Structure 1
Amino acid sequence: MTRSEESAEAVLLHTAGRAAHIVLNRPRALNALNHAMVRRIDEALTAWEHDPSVETVVISGAGERGLCAGGDIRAIHDDARDGDGSASAAFWRDEYRLNARIARWPKPYVAVMDGIVMGGGVGLSAHGDVRVATERSRIAMPETGIGFVPDVGGTHLLARAPGELGTHLALTGARIGAADALLCGLADHLVPSAALPRFLDDLADLPVGEALARHAQSPPPGELAGRREWIDTCYAADTVEEIVRRLIAQGDPAAKETAETLLAKSPTSLKVTLAALRRARRLGSLERVLDQEYRVSCAALTTHDLVEGIRAQVVDKDRTPRWSPATLAEVTDSDVERFFTPLGPHELGLAAGTD
């Protein structure tokens, strides 16, 4: 089987009436995204952008478990451990460019965020202009648990969430449902999963707004709104150490549990993530933030924690990563700053095309 045949099977394309459909088709891998899939999606968007018969693009995932669990991190693990990192850097270059393209897509881009939507799956969906969650949605940016940092424009999205909700989600990697995704600006509508087939059928004949009017519902209450007070207070701190101290001192059992969650994550990833979020707020545009994320991601390829985190969580699955440095106190400002070092001729360079 050729590489193009593999990518064709992993991404199914079809049109139905006025809508063109992208279906991620690796259900046994929870539709994990690889480089060939990114290229296939980008090629489809190029063709459909100039096709007047296509008025809407819809992305969804095959199988019952979710849209996409993220990038193929086993491949990144092997590249970081045994290779020179060039394959991962090339993948991210094309993936982040695709994320930016989705955000600027000139036609309605409907993302069906049913089931698990994590990491790279968020990049394929949450930058779209019509983001549909269901009662089964479990949306997360879980990178700090594998020694990595939220990417695919995740720090841009989370930096724009109300108050410090985005900081909470970025540092903890917490999974959220539909109501919390709407609150945080990661989704726009709730359509019950049982209604998705009819909703997708309607997109063949109707404008997106009319199809949504037929099927969208108000979500039941989420969890984050009731926790805003302590989340905003604790995560407003300037350092991860102070965030943890405030969480422990808060007195709320959920805040204390959150502190324990943070202390199990990669200390380096936590500090770099906090710095990336704060900088993303100042950078403004998605393209500028993606340029920053590319620097951070490439730097992470050379670290102990990325290989160790993926090993512990995905490869060996012992769930006991041995982080180095092992504590927040041992991660220096210079350790953090090196993740943001410009890459010279190897920069992603997205912002240069928009400034």
Structure 2
Amino acid sequence: MKSEDDTAGNPGSNDSTVLLHVEGGTGVVTLNRPRALNSLTHPMVLRIDEALAAWAEDPAVHQVLIRGAGERGLCAGGDIRAIHDDAKAGTTASADFWRDEYRLNARIARYPKPYVALMDGIVMGGGVGVSAHGSVRIVTERSRVAMPETGIGFVPDVGGTWLLSLAPGELGTYLALTGTAIGAADALLCGLADHFVPAARLPELTAALAGAPVHEVLPRYAATPPPGELAGRRPWIDHCYAADTVEEIVERLLGQGEPAAKEAAETILAKSPTALKVTLAAMRRAAGLGTLERVLAQEFRVSCNGLGSPDLVEGIRAQVIDKDRRPRWSPPTLAEVTGADVEHYFAPLGEDRELHLPQGDVSRG
């Protein structure tokens, strides 16, 4: 039995950017902005959240599936053009969006029913937030998973610093600073996914989920992914990224004599110096906060304080709007970013503006 939208309380039913239906016992969420790589808008976040809340209480819904429309990916992240315009205008729409987005991330992480995420194709930023906190995370040979925020003068959010802080060794620090997109095997290694299914079998898997629980269906489709790259790089990654400062990380990378390490150093040096230092601090602090909810509260503080950063506007301009790929960071070097500059991002917002979330036990550690 398939019903469109009505099972989710008909939230925003005239908005086609998120399609909702229940098939068998599975509530299906389809992100439906394929021309924009299914990038999330504020109405999309609210619509997903309302559907999940309704399905959590609906005895006819036994599990949830989230997927992306089109062939290119699940979700490329948030609508960063809107964030650019908001930051440039000095308004607060982005803070409102992040508050609801991070609440959605927390809901997914503590969802009481199986939450199956098809992480096919591009899964970046906010796309990681609506998938990698789920209980059943499926990647394919087409998956490209990343938290690329430092490249636009921003800091990994949507619980990304929490997820990456749980990765083995210093793999999470490597991914957070470089923004490197990884494939299926490396996503599994880093704890960002649980299972590999060939992309050609996803339609068959999706159809099977309509009639049976995911734990019964998935073993018929799960396979071994093509080899990844990170396992063989662990020795130098763990050594270099354990350093206390970004400057020392770069110095260690350049001293390795490994082409991949040198490439990583060059990648880091092209990112926003301020965003890099704040990201390293956020990662180290996330590891000690203990729960996703506390990390999301920290990320909300960092995001809101970073909204006025000149690097955020400049990074989005260079990468997305003008696409000249030549951002002019301010300050332009790591040495010029002070400890006070970094601490500004972690400054309290005031009790009425902080993100308050119920504390749940969602540790994957």
Which band: TM-score by shorter chain? over 0.9
Deviations 1:331-353 (A, max 9, x none): 00000001000111210012568
Tell me, yes or no, if structure 1 residue 200 matches structure 2 residue 212.
no
Q: Letter of the 1:16 partner, please give it.
A: E
Of 232, 236, 239 in structure 1, the residue corresponding to residue 245 of structure 2 is 239
Equivalents in 2 of 1:101, 1:47: separation in Å?
12
Find the residue that maps to 2:16 and give its secondary structure. helix
Question: 2:90·2:308 contact (CA, 8 Å) conserved in 1?
Answer: no
2:21·2:28 contact (CA, 8 Å) conserved in 1? yes
Higher share in helix: 1
How many angstroms does 1:205 deviate by?
A: 1.1
Instruction: Pick one of 348, 351, 355 that aligns with 2:355.
Output: 348
AA aligned opposite 2:270: A
2-structure distance, mates of 1:352, 1:63: 36
Alignment of 1:63-142 (within 5 A): 63-84=70-91, 86-142=92-148
**1:144 and 2:150 are equivalent in the alignment:** yes
Q: Deviations over 1:202-244 (max 9, x none)?
A: 1111111111111000112100000000000000000000000
Secondary structure of the 2:235 match is helix
Q: CA–CA distance in 2 between the matches of 1:20 and 1:102?
A: 14
Q: Which residue of 2 aligns with 1:280?
A: 286
What's the offset of the Cα at 1:138?
Answer: 0.2
Query: 2:46 maps to which residue?
Result: 39
| TM-score calculated relative to the size of structure 2 | 0.94
Q: Bigger shift: 282-291 or 345-354? A: 345-354
- Measured in 1, the distance between the counterparts of 2:269 and 2:358 equals 35
Q: Distance in 2 between matches of 1:214 and 1:58?
A: 17
Question: Over the residues paired in the alignment, what is the CA RMSD in angstroms?
Answer: 1.2
Q: Is the contact made by 2:63 and 2:114 (CA closer than 8 Å) also made in structure 1?
A: yes
Instruction: Write the distance in 1 (CA, Å) between the matches of 2:134 and 2:88.
Output: 34
Conservation of the 8 A alpha-carbon contact between 1:113 and 1:137: yes
Report which stretch shifted further, 197-206 or 135-144. 197-206
Could you tell me which residue of structure 2 aligns to residue 52 of structure 1?
A: 59
The letter of the residue matching 2:38 is N
Which residue of the partner structure matches residue 180 of structure 1? 186
Summarize deviations over 1:92-151 as a string: whole Å, max 9, x none.
000000000000000000000000000000000000000000000000000000000000
Give the TM-score, by structure 1 length.
0.97
Cα offset for 1:83? 3.6
1:58-87 deviation digits (Å, cap 9, x = unpaired):
000000100000000000000000242x10
Q: Which of the numbers 8, 14, 20 marks the counterpart of 2:21?
A: 14
* Cα distance between partner residues in 2 of 1:259 and 1:214: 42
The residue type equivalent to 2:329 in the other structure is: W
SS of residue matched to 1:169: helix
Amino acid at match of 1:64: E
Residues in 1 aligned to 2:256 and 2:344: alpha-carbon distance in whole angstroms: 33
**In 1, are the aligned partners of 2:246 and 2:276 still within 8 Å (CA)?**
yes
Number of positions where the alignment pairs a residue of Structure 1 with one of Structure 2: 350
Give the unaligned 5+ runs of structure 1.
none
CA distance in 1: counterparts of 2:292 and 2:13, whole angstroms? 32
The unaligned stretches of length 5 or more in structure 2 are: 1-10
Q: Distance in 2 between matches of 1:74 and 1:100?
A: 25
1:224 paired with 2:230, answer: yes
Name the CA distance, whole Å, in 2 between partners of 1:312 and 1:124.
26
Specify which of 227, 250, 253 is matched with residue 256 of structure 2.
Answer: 250
User: 1:240/1:351 Cα in 2 relative to 1: closer, same or farther (>3 Å)?
Assistant: farther
C-alpha distance in 2 between matches for 1:120 and 1:182:
19
CA shift at 1:46, angstroms? 1.3
* Preserved CA contact (<8 Å) 2:33 2:39: yes
In 1, the alpha carbon distance for the partners of 2:140 and 2:164 equals 20
Contact 1:113 1:134 in 2 (8 A): yes
After the TM superposition, list the runs of 4 or more consecutive aligned residues in structure 1 that deviate by more than 6 angstroms: none
SS of 1:294's partner is helix
The aligned counterpart of 1:295 is 301
Q: Is the 8 A contact 1:291 1:351 kept in 2?
A: no
The equivalences for 1:259-270 within 5 A come to: 259-270=265-276
In the TM superposition, residue 5 of structure 1 has moved relative to its aligned partner by: 5.5
